[in-house]
């Protein structure tokens, strides 16, 4: 059960200063480095304004470089042009009955 303040307590309290700047709200922050190799996750509780400092700290500790160096080497298929990755489909002649059935099915 919540206990509300008495009238005497309310009258004795100092007035609120609404012009005073508020502190930054604390939240849970996750920074994850993962270029398909080594995954590094840093979790902490602080204000959002601390994110650049955390990235700078991870870089200074060599974590960013470590993650980048663990990136897997590119394979031949990822370097090939998009058109050369697939073999061209062969054209197959269908008999008239099969062609008609295929047209009926695709029309549904």
**What are 38-85's pLDDT values in tens digits?**
788 888 898 888 889 988 998 899 888 888 887 777 776 555 555 555
Burial, 88: exposed, middle or buried (Cβ in 10 Å; 0-12, 13-18, 19+)? exposed
- Is the residue at 54 inside a domain? yes
Residue 85 lies in a domain: no
How far apart are alpha carbons 66 and 60 in whole angstroms?
11
Report the pLDDT value the prediction gives residue 88, as an integer from 0 to 100: 60
Count of CA atoms in the C-beta half-sphere (13 A) of 69: 5
Does a structural domain hold residue 47? yes
The pLDDT tens digits for 9-49 are 999 999 888 887 777 888 888 888 887 777 888 888 988 88
The answer to whether residue 102 is domain-embedded is no
86 band by pLDDT with thresholds 50, 70 and 90: low
Q: Does a structural domain hold residue 103?
A: no
pLDDT at residue number 85: 56
Domain count, the chain: 1
User: What's the chain's average pLDDT?
Assistant: 78
Distance from C-alpha of 85 to C-alpha of 98, rounded to nearest angstrom? 30
74-81: Cβ within 8 A, 24+ apart:
none
Residues 6 or more apart whose Cβ sits within 8 Å of residue 68: 35
């Amino acid at each position: 059960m919540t206990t509300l303040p008495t009238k005497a307590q309310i009258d004795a309290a100092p007035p609120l200063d609404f012009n005073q700047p508020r502190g930054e709200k604390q939240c849970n922050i996750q920074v994850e480095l993962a270029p398909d190799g080594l995954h590094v996750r840093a979790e902490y509780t602080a204000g959002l304004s601390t994110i650049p400092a955390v990235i700078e700290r991870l870089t200074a500790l060599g974590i960013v470089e470590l993650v980048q160096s663990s990136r897997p080497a590119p394979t031949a298929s990822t370097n090939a042009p998009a058109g050369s990755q697939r073999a061209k489909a062969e054209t197959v002649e269908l008999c008239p009955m099969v062609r008609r059935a295929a047209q009926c099915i695709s029309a549904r």
